[in-house]
Amino acid sequence: MAFLSNTDFAVSTPSFFQNLTASIGSFFSAVIEARGRQDQIQALEDLSDVELADLGLRREDIVRHVFRDIYYG
């Protein structure tokens, strides 16, 4: 036996509070991610030129390397 239903599901739009909460969460996620990238840049800048060359990097390429997933991903 088969059942057939013509039920339309109502699509709810997010409320102002839900949008605000999501925006605040996105902001703090971005801050945390930026802090992690800054730490990574600082760690690479603390290396000598020889150590950077061993990693296949030049000093002027550090920022490009750290943000490569955003700009080249």
Q: What is the pLDDT of residues 10-37, one digit of tens each?
A: 667 888 999 999 999 999 998 998 898 9
HEC profile for the chain? Answer: CCCCCCCCCCCCCCCHHHHHHHHHHHHHHHHHHHHHHHHHHHHHHCCCHHHHHHCCCCHHHHHHHHCHHHHCC
- Asked if 44 contacts 52 with a C-beta cutoff of 8 angstroms, the reply is yes
pTM of the model: 0.61
* pLDDT score of 37: 92
The Cβ of residue 62 has, within 10 Å, a number of other Cβ atoms equal to 19
- Range 42-53 average pLDDT: 96
